[in-house]
Amino acid sequence: MTSLALLFTGFSVVSALLLALTHFRTANYSSERGAKASGLLLLAALAGLQAVHWAWLYLDLPWTNTGGYQLLLFVVAPVFWVYSQCILRPDAAPWRVQSLAHAVPAMIAPWLEPDIALSVAFSVGAGYLLALGRDVYRLRAEREQFVREIALLGVIVVIAVGVTVLGVVRAELPGKTFFELYAIAIGLAFFLIQGVLALRPQLAGEVTEAAKASYANSTLTHIDCPALLDRLDGLMSTEHLFEDGELSLAALAARLGVSSHQLSELMNVHLGKSFARFLREQRVAAARRMLVAEPSASVLSVGLSVGFSAQSNFYEAFREIEGMTPGQFRKLTLMASMSRPKPDQSP
């Protein structure tokens, strides 16, 4: 089990670095600076914990008994809470005032006895899990949008609960068993997070948009939703508005004569998707048609023609929706077309 734990410590540190460089780009958190800052701090804390676990399990350095390790233990749960609140309740801005209270346990952590610190840290973590569960439950009306993602995140919560129980009864476990299990649990959490983001790279922004619609009072009371959806479809199918690389929620709402909140709620409630997801689907659908209709056009030119700002964004969206790259889609589609028997044209 020690070898598995060491493997997961390395995987966790590498995953933390990759997530910091890819998922936590400014493009993914352009309007959620608090979420980006708390997310990066969470990655740093988890990577730090895994570094200490590696030192203890592989080098026998007793860094798990230091105040620095205890500080990291107490930082993880509050920072994860602040990150989740930035995503689930973006209008509350929890990182500005409320988060100060969450720093108190971390401030006293280095002064606690190691055994007491572990029990207290995981007990506090359990409280944060319960509070987070309450907020996620409030999004139950949007759950159809995030079925697979919620299932995977549910597994992460189960892992967290298991670690919490182990932390409370740590004294009953032999030798380094607790730290081995804790290192494996963190590694599994990173693995599942990578899986979630592979399914939905823009998950944070989509959850934020769904949360805004869920928490707010309905803004569609006096709106003819079927007619508005027809106008939206017209703007996409006839005017190809999605080809505008600068198209925003506010700009599209202005074309439809409604507010941004109304359009966001319309998409989340009636289409079951966020504006970002809707726009990616429109662009990918147009790209599919163009890839087949214009086989000599480069993949990059196709992506730029349908509104993507860069090849990387095009590939990311296409792979997310179609499960393959644009080049693979074109190759498979054209091969399938060539293999179909041609109709008999004899008189």
User: CA-CA distance, 225 to 270, in Å (whole number)?
Assistant: 8
Q: What's the pLDDT score for residue 204?
A: 60
| Domain end call among 157, 179, 210 | 210
Is residue 347 assigned to a domain? no
Place of tokens 């990577």: 47
- Find the CATH number of the domain harbouring 11: 1.20.1070
Highest mean pLDDT out of 81-95, 149-163, 208-222, 275-289? 275-289
Query: Domain range holding 289?
Result: 211-338
Which pLDDT band, with edges at 50, 70 and 90, does 290 fall under? very high
Highest mean pLDDT out of 69-78, 188-197, 205-214? 69-78
Overall domain count for the chain: 2
Q: What are residue 58's phi and psi, to 5 degrees?
A: -100, -40
Residue range 238-251, pLDDT digits in tens: 999 999 988 888 88
User: Does 167 share its domain with 268?
Assistant: no
| Domain end call among 165, 184, 210 | 210
pLDDT at 16 over 80: yes
Is residue 345 assigned to a domain? no
User: Does 243 share its domain with 331?
Assistant: yes
User: Does 142 share its domain with 205?
Assistant: yes
Which pLDDT band, with edges at 50, 70 and 90, does 69 fall under? confident
Token reading at 294? 């214009």
pTM surpassing 0.85? no
User: Does 202 share its domain with 215?
Assistant: no
Token reading at 159? 């892992």
Token reading at 127? 């409280």
The pLDDT mean for the chain works out to: 79
Rounded mean pLDDT, 35-50: 89
Least confident of 111-115, 265-269, 274-278: 111-115
User: CA-CA distance, 218 to 262, in Å (whole number)?
Assistant: 8
Token reading at 304? 């730029």
User: Does 171 share its domain with 30?
Assistant: yes
Is residue 343 assigned to a domain? no
Is residue 344 assigned to a domain? no
pLDDT at 38 over 70: yes
Helix (H, G, I), strand (E, B), or coil: what is residue 295? Answer: coil
User: CA-CA distance, 82 to 104, in Å (whole number)?
Assistant: 14
pLDDT at 77 over 70: yes
Q: Contact at 8 Å (CB) between 8 and 186? A: yes
Closest by CA to 79, choosing from 20, 126, 109, 39, is 39
Is residue 346 assigned to a domain? no
Q: Which residue has the higher pLDDT, 128 or 214?
A: 128
- Find the CATH number of the domain harbouring 305: 1.10.10.60
Q: Which residue has the higher pLDDT, 100 or 316?
A: 316
Residue 103, amino acid: A
User: Does 312 share its domain with 232?
Assistant: yes
Rounded mean pLDDT, 91-108: 62
User: Does 177 share its domain with 226?
Assistant: no
User: Does 53 share its domain with 181?
Assistant: yes
Q: What's the pLDDT score for residue 217?
A: 53
CB atoms within 10 A of CB 247: 18
pLDDT at 95 over 50: no
Taking the CA atoms of the chain, what radius of gyration do you get in angstroms? Answer: 24
Percent of the chain residues topping a pLDDT of 90: 20
User: CA-CA distance, 298 to 316, in Å (whole number)?
Assistant: 17
Q: What's the pLDDT score for residue 264?
A: 82
Residue range 149-191, pLDDT digits in tens: 566 666 666 777 777 777 666 667 777 888 898 899 888 888 8
Is residue 103 assigned to a domain? yes
pLDDT at 19 over 70: yes
Q: What's the pLDDT score for residue 28?
A: 64
Q: Contact at 8 Å (CB) between 84 and 135? A: yes
Least confident of 24-28, 92-96, 104-108: 92-96
| Domain end call among 195, 210, 225 | 210
